[in-house]
């Protein structure tokens, strides 16, 4: 029986467990990446582990998220990360060099390798045939130290592409179509593997758009084969030597098959407030818009930017619209400057932003009250833009650019014929903004620069055998990490200060939560399905830990958040009978006895609702390693105990 590409790469990297779907496997990690908003914590954790130099083939730290420096905090964190990298063997991509995923794809990713990154959009690397997975900072720290990374052995979904995209229909429309069909939880426990004749028609940046936004499916990752198109891309990046041809066996067996005929796709948009709330642009109609933002790790490649510049050339942005553009990397921005496309954007009235995440994470450009904003980004969760009542639509760069000129949502196909946009034979290579680490024998000479904003992370205690705690918060389905631990220009600078950032925990949902949880001492959060979808930020676990949350009890969890809860020593439990969710109210007192014994040996916990006087069961479907970790009080304690 043949193997899928996913199975081939995973089994080559397997260090523990068996390739049995649904069971836990440990894999060796070749490369890691971090970004600055999750990086400070990850490097503090790496330091705490006491490993002198990273043990991966390549580890890179990017500064791309916290780039709006409206106080000393972000600049201090950047200096801290820079000094840690120099000392411990990590390459440091300085602010201005670009968005982690775009730069990693251009300069460092290699087909067939494994990559984990402390950012949920790490699967962008799947565009060149990597197994690239988003993870919590602590898992990345462990991998940097040479430790194994654990995942549930995934099911593999074949996404069979046929046909060819019509003019002005975009890779973004492909992933929006997948999201429309499968939903934000459709990918949980699965890898999306793209195959079929249609693959050849997509360039590497287009493939990367698709694997990037595969994160919104909740998937473990997404992957394309490494073929002649990949070779051409790597050659143009002057690293053809990194190319290896990779594909699934012709008789590979998949767990599910999704058929997509590229020729039948039309321009789509994800409507507020979820990436899977997808409708066609025509269906939504000529909606008046206030803002258009083009960029983010999903759509900021040279190819995307050239299309946008072509559409804007010689025109003026509509008077009622603010258009801002953030090219994804220094390479993209420099090439746009050299070939004149940047002038076309500026002349049309676009506001050019630095090569960074920027407005995607609420770092500026919040829309006006009730504003309608079209964005080429990947997330449109409520409040993420910084304006709570704004309405965010996720679209392709083509749809965004033409709509910015017209002042209303426009189907780009109305533009008629499309010229051929061809990627250059050679990209402009200049890695002068990537600083190499100092030689190992000189590492003692490097001083670690710590700003006053950097506070130690909360210490979790070993698990107690009895938990009596009130329900401090009850929430519904699809709660995102942006609900649990919001980001944005005001809160992100607090990422290195857990006590302070915890004051904003669940702010979008209930601003009284942090104070109440602290007053309760110990508490439990109750949630619905797909709890914790979205970001990899471990702050969504560390803040609840600091506030005394002992257990999160839901109908189901998103993958990275569940791992982060376990790493923090918080029990992730699910209702055995979902109907019990309705029988619990905020404020109820819950009692669980024999917790350690059951976490060690059983698949369920028996929970007594003392307030309402009934008992029910919750499931704890965990591996042995996860059970031991919870009992030790999280990954750091566990590593110390075992190491
Ligand atoms: C995001 O897009 O939500 C982020 C900001 O990149 C996060 C990481 C973070 O919260 O720092 C992610 O996707 O993991
Ligand atoms: Fe940055 Fe946005 Fe991509 Fe997250 S999704 S890495 S904030 S550009």
Pocket test for ligand 1, best of 66, 74, 138, 487 (most atoms within 8 A of CB): 487
Strands 322-325 and 523-526: unpaired
**pLDDT mean over 240-251:** 98
Do 309 and 359 belong to one domain? yes
Q: Is residue 142 domain-resident?
A: yes
Which runs of E-coded beta strand occur in 302-445? Answer: 322-325, 351-352, 372-375, 391-394, 434-435
Which comes out higher in pLDDT, residue 456 or 304?
304
Pocket test for ligand 1, best of 36, 38, 384, 543 (most atoms within 8 A of CB): 38
Do 299 and 186 belong to one domain? no
Pocket test for ligand 1, best of 118, 356, 537 (most atoms within 8 A of CB): 537
Question: Which residue has a Cα nearest atom 2 of ligand 2?
Answer: 360
Predicted confidence (pLDDT) per residue in 115-141, tens digit: 999 999 999 999 999 999 999 999 999
Q: Is residue 445 domain-resident?
A: no
Do 242 and 320 belong to one domain? no
Do 190 and 303 belong to one domain? no
pLDDT value at 243 more than 80: yes
Predicted confidence (pLDDT) per residue in 568-582, tens digit: 999 999 999 999 999
Please list every protein residue whose CB sits less than 6 Å from any atom of ligand 2: 65, 99, 119, 121, 296-297, 357, 360-361, 377-378
Do 540 and 624 belong to one domain? yes
Question: Which residue has a Cα nearest atom 7 of ligand 2?
Answer: 361
**Which ligand number lies closest to the CA of residue 560?**
1
Question: Which DSSP letter does residue 242 get?
Answer: G
Q: Is the CB of 231 under 6 A from ligand 1?
A: no
Do 129 and 191 belong to one domain? yes
Predicted confidence (pLDDT) per residue in 166-184, tens digit: 999 999 999 999 999 999 9
Q: Which atom of ligand 1 is nearest to the CA of 537?
A: 10
Predicted confidence (pLDDT) per residue in 400-454, tens digit: 999 999 999 999 999 999 999 989 999 999 999 999 999 999 999 999 999 998 9
Using an 8 Å Cβ cutoff, are 2 and 250 in contact? yes
Q: In sequence order, what DSSP letters do the residues of 288-317 get, joined into one string? A: B-SEEEE-TTTS-SHHHHHHHHHHHTT---
* Domain tally, the chain: 3
Q: Is residue 434 domain-resident?
A: no
- The residue out of 243, 264, 285 marking a domain boundary is 264
Report pLDDT for 459: 76
pLDDT value at 80 more than 90: yes
Pocket test for ligand 2, best of 172, 211, 360 (most atoms within 8 A of CB): 360
Using an 8 Å Cβ cutoff, are 236 and 137 in contact? no
pLDDT band, very low/low/confident/very high, at 643 (cuts 50, 70, 90): low
Distance 469 CA to ligand 1 centre (A): 31
CA distance 580 to 619: 12
Q: In sequence order, what DSSP letters do the residues of 589-608 get, joined into one string? A: EEEE-SHHHHHHH-SEEEEE
pLDDT value at 631 more than 90: yes
- The residue out of 264, 294, 320 marking a domain boundary is 264
**Which ligand number lies closest to the CA of residue 484?**
1
Do 358 and 238 belong to one domain? no
Burial of 316 (0-12, 13-18, 19+ CB in 10 A): exposed
Q: Is residue 428 domain-resident?
A: no
CA distance 242 to 244: 7
pLDDT value at 233 more than 80: yes
Question: What CATH number should be reported for the domain holding residue 172?
Answer: 3.30.499.10
**pLDDT mean over 540-555:** 97
**pLDDT mean over 482-488:** 97
Distance 185 CA to ligand 1 centre (A): 18
- The residue out of 264, 287, 312 marking a domain boundary is 264
Both structure tokens of 199: 């693959």
Report pLDDT for 33: 99
The model carries a pTM of 0.98
| Mean pLDDT score across all residues of the chain | 97
pLDDT value at 639 more than 90: no
Distance 296 CA to ligand 2 centre (A): 6
**Which ligand number lies closest to the CA of residue 38?**
1
Q: Is residue 454 domain-resident?
A: no
Do 476 and 371 belong to one domain? no
Do 255 and 336 belong to one domain? no
**pLDDT mean over 185-201:** 98
Q: Is residue 430 domain-resident?
A: no
Which H or E element spans position 526? strand 523-526
CA distance 504 to 513: 9
Distance 294 CA to ligand 2 centre (A): 12
Q: Is residue 244 domain-resident?
A: yes
CA distance 599 to 591: 15
Q: Is the CB of 487 under 6 A from ligand 1?
A: yes
Q: Is the CB of 378 under 6 A from ligand 1?
A: no
pLDDT band, very low/low/confident/very high, at 642 (cuts 50, 70, 90): confident
Do 11 and 63 belong to one domain? yes
Q: Note down the domain range covering 111.
A: 5-264
Question: What CATH number should be reported for the domain holding residue 560?
Answer: 3.20.19.10
Question: Which residue has a Cα nearest atom 5 of ligand 1?
Answer: 361
Q: Given strand 372-375, what is the order of strands in its sheet?
A: 278-280, 268-270, 391-394, 372-375, 291-294, 322-325, 351-352
What number of other Cβ atoms are within 10 A of residue 61's Cβ?
A: 29
CA distance 304 to 299: 6
Using an 8 Å Cβ cutoff, are 535 and 218 in contact? no
Do 169 and 222 belong to one domain? yes
Distance 340 CA to ligand 1 centre (A): 32
Q: Is residue 429 domain-resident?
A: no
Do 254 and 272 belong to one domain? no
């Amino acid at each position: 029986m043949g193997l899928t590409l996913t199975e081939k790469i995973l089994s080559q990297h397997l260090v523990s467990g068996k390739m049995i779907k649904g069971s836990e496997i440990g894999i060796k990690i070749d490369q890691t990446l971090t970004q600055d908003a999750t990086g400070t914590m990850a490097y503090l954790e790496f330091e705490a582990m006491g490993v002198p130099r990273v043990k991966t083939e390549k580890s890179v730290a990017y500064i791309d998220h916290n780039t709006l420096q409206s106080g000393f905090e972000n600049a201090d964190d950047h200096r801290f990360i820079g000094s840690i990298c120099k000392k411990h063997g990590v390459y440091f991509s300085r602010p201005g060099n670009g968005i982690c995923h775009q730069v990693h794809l251009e300069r460092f990713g290699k087909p067939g390798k494994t990559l984990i990154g402390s950012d949920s959009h790490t699967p962008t690397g799947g565009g060149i045939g990597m197994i690239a997975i988003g993870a919590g900072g602590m898992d990345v720290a462990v991998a940097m130290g040479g430790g194994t990374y654990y995942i549930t052995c995934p099911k593999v979904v074949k996404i069979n592409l046929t046909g060819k995209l019509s003019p002005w229909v975009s890779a973004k429309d492909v992933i929006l179509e997948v999201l429309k069909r499968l939903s934000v939880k459709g990918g949980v426990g699965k890898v999306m593997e793209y195959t079929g004749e249609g693959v050849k028609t997509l360039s590497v940046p287009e493939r990367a758009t698709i694997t990037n936004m595969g994160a919104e499916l909740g998937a473990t990752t997404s992957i394309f084969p490494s073929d002649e198109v990949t070779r051409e891309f790597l050659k143009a990046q002057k690293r053809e030597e990194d190319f290896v041809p990779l594909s699934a066996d012709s008789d590979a067996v998949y767990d599910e098959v999704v058929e997509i005929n590229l020729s039948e796709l039309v321009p789509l948009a994800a409507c507020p407030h979820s990436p899977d709330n997808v409708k066609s642009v025509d269906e939504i109609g000529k909606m008046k818009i206030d803002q258009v933002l083009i960029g983010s790790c999903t759509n900021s490649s040279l190819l995307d930017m050239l299309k946008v510049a072509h559409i804007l050339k010689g025109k003026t942005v509509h008077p009622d619209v603010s258009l801002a553009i953030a090219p994804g990397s220094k390479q993209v921005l420099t090439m746009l400057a050299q070939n004149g496309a940047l002038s076309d954007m500026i002349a049309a009235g676009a506001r050019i932003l630095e090569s960074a995440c920027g407005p995607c994470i609420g770092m500026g450009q919040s829309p006006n009250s009730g504003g309608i904003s079209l964005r080429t980004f990947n997330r449109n969760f409520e409040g993420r833009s910084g304006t709570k009542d704004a309405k965010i639509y996720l679209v392709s760069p083509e749809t965004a650019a033409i709509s910015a000129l017209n002042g209303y949502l426009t189907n780009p196909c109305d533009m008629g014929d499309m010229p051929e946009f061809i990627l250059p034979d050679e990209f402009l290579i200049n890695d002068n903004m990537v600083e190499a680490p100092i030689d190992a024998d000189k590492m003692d000479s490097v001083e670690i620069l710590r700003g006053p904003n950097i506070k130690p992370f909360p210490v979790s205690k070993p698990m107690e055998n009895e938990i009596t705690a009130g329900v401090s918060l009850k929430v519904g389905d699809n709660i995102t990490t942006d609900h649990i631990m919001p980001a944005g220009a005001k809160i992100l600078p607090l990422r290195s200060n857990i006590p302070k950032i915890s004051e904003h925990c669940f702010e979008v949902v209930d601003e009284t939560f942090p104070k109440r949880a602290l007053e309760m001492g110990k508490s439990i959060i109750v949630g619905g399905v797909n709890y914790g979808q979205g970001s990899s930020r471990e702050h969504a676990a560390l803040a609840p830990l600091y506030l005394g949350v002992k257990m999160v009890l839901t109908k189901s969890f998103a993958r990275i958040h569940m791992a982060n809860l376990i790493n923090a020593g918080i029990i992730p439990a699910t209702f055995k009978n979902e109907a019990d969710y309705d029988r619990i109210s905020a404020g109820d007192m819950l009692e669980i006895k024999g917790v350690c014994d059951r976490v060690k040996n059983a698949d369920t916990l028996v929970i007594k609702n003392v307030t309402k006087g009934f008992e029910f069961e919750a499931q704890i479907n965990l591996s042995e390693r996860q059970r031991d970790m919870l009992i030790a009080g999280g990954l750091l304690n566990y590593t110390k105990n075992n190491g």
